[in-house]
Amino acid sequence: MDELSKEELLRELRSRDAELAELRSINARLQHENELLRQKVDLLIRRVFGRSSEAFNEAQLDLFMMGENLPKKDSASWVEEAATQHREQKAKKQNSPRRSARWPKDLPTVEEVIEPAEVEANPADWRRIGEERTERLDYQPAQFFRQVTVRPKYVERDLPEAAPVIAELPSSLQERCMAGPGLIAQVVVGKYCDHLPLYRQEQIFKQRHDIWLPRQTLADWVELAAFWMHPIYEKIKAQTFGTGYAQVDEPKRSGDRLPKAARRVSEANQTPVKYLSPGLGKTGQGYLWTVCCPGESVFFHWETSRGADCLENIIPVNFRGLLQCDGYSAYGAFAKNRADIDLGACLAHIRRKFVDAKDQAPQPAGFVLKHIQNLYRMESRLRRQRAGPSLRVAVRQSESRPIFHRIQKALFVLSSRYLPQSAMGKAIAYTLAQWSRMEVWLNDGRMEIDNNLVENAIRPTALGKKNWLFFGDAQAGQRSAILYTIIENCRREEINPYAYLRDVLTRLPKMTNQQISQVTPRAWAEAQKKQVPLAAAA
């Protein structure tokens, strides 16, 4: 009996040990899941309530790299240090010169002379010895006017029975269209530059000017403008791919599974756009792809999906060169069938991953961010020097490559220390996967260090869709892509989009296809610059 009792006791102890080991395993797994969930929640909170800027100064990165070795300071020291920094920033801001004048020198001036009552009563008794001038900036709202084109009819005096003579009616955008180029330009600028939906413009015209224009009429005018601007859009597209280097950014999916507040932030910074789809009984989701050539032009392209096949419609068949993008898998699938296209990565996307991981791993993330900051500092210096591709390659090979390889060695060492699903693990995996594409930047002087230029071009579309909510149909997406392209290129050339559209829409009906290159935003801006000195000399 004693031996049986011992065996039962041993079996029970083994069973308890196995149960304890299983509980410990479950506990470790739950702790790991809890840590990952905490990181995701912290990241989500920062995205919703924190600053959107990812910029760090030198001191911040040093603090991250020090980690737990950070020296302890009392609250008074921190307050005094913050106050000192605030005073320095305020003094720097006050001493910095104004970027530009408040208003242009050639702004029209209206003078009002106010004479004293005593002088008006007896002007002969007074002698003027000076004056006081007070300047204010005033504004006069825009106004409608009727443009009437009068074409007198004539008949020869000696041949009264002959057919009368009348001047030809000037070419217009559409026969019997009641809108002039200026009104159509205003509607386009209102929607795609000032982000005013057509129904709001309809209300503004009626309430402020007593002009009733139904929104369907406004929509027809927008379609008319897109039709006439399409050749210019195609010319801009050809110029964008003409240098053999382009940046492209694919539209991101909206965060349907995120909390409501986070979903609003996510959708405001991405490019999916809803459109009416009567056959589905609900709105569909389309996407505005963006392509940019740094220093040249940018254009938008509308698609109802975001797959790799969309790139076949965006990238010309004859394009040969470098395509800079992020880590989206569609680019790799597209490039497999195009051996003449090289893919380059974006350092800003890589940096963003380590910014998200800085709270989990302050020292390693701070190390990587510090070195990335040094790379950006070198690029900033080259940009100030207006360096060409050859000089940029030489500096990158001599100064940036050692830093680049130092980061790579550190990531290989750190890759085994962090779990794949952690923020730091994801940052390391993403960076190493993009490393071969990032090395293209070292050897190609045309390539920028990141894709920020093309991402900045997306922002106006994100602002607009929050106001007008959706496109009328799938075909309206490409019309909006055309007009967004025109507006964005006007912004890059620093020209007034209304003045450009009014002038070009007036001239287009009389132009040929060979003359389209003369009215792109860049060509129009250069022509205006040439006219200004001539007008000043006259």
Q: Provide the pLDDT for residue 5.
A: 73
In the predicted model, what is the mean pLDDT of the chain? 80
pLDDT given at position 222: 92
Position with higher pLDDT, 99 vs 12: 12
Phi, psi of 91 (to 5 degrees): -65, -40
Could you give the 3-state DSSP secondary structure of residue 245? strand
Mean pLDDT of 216-240: 92
pLDDT band at 85, cuts 50/70/90? low
CB 348 within 8 A of CB 452: yes
Task: Give the β-pairing of 282-292 and 298-303.
Answer: antiparallel
The contacts of residue 322 (CB under 8 Å, 6+ apart) are 244, 245, 246, 341, 342, 343, 344, 440, 444, 446, 447
Give residue 10's pLDDT: 74
Over residues 258-262, the mean pLDDT reads 41
pLDDT of 56 > 70? The answer is no
Q: What is the pLDDT of residue 487?
A: 93
The tokens of 176 are what? 């019997």
In this predicted model, what pLDDT tens digit does every residue of 141-154 receive, in sequence order? Answer: 788 888 888 889 88
Residue 229 has what pLDDT?
A: 94
Q: Give the three-class secondary structure for 283.
A: strand
User: What are the structure tokens assigned to 66, written together?
Assistant: 């020090």
Q: Is the pLDDT of residue 226 over 90?
A: yes
pLDDT, tens digit (0-9, with 9 covering 90-100), for 392-451: 999 999 988 999 899 989 999 888 888 888 888 888 999 999 898 888 888 888 888 888
More confidently predicted of 1 and 466: 466
Asked whether 289 and 281 are in contact (CB, 8 A), the reply is: no
282-339: pLDDT as tens digits: 777 778 889 998 888 899 998 887 888 888 888 988 888 899 988 888 888 888 888 8
Record the tokens describing residue 393, joined without a space: 């390659």
**CA–CA gap between residue 426 and residue 428 (Å, rounded):** 5
Encode pLDDT of 15-25 as tens digits.
777 888 888 88
Closest CA to 324 of 306, 350, 304: 350
Q: d(Cα 417, Cα 412) in Å, to the nearest integer? A: 10
pTM value is 0.76
Higher pLDDT, 236 or 460: 236
User: Which of 56, 62, 64, 21 minimizes the C-alpha distance to 360?
Assistant: 64
pLDDT digits 0-9 by tens, 364-389: 888 889 899 989 999 999 989 888 88
Instruction: Tell me phi and psi for residue 16, to 5 degrees.
Output: -65, -40
SS3 call for 166: strand
% pLDDT > 90, the chain: 19
DSSP bridge pairs for 290:
249, 300
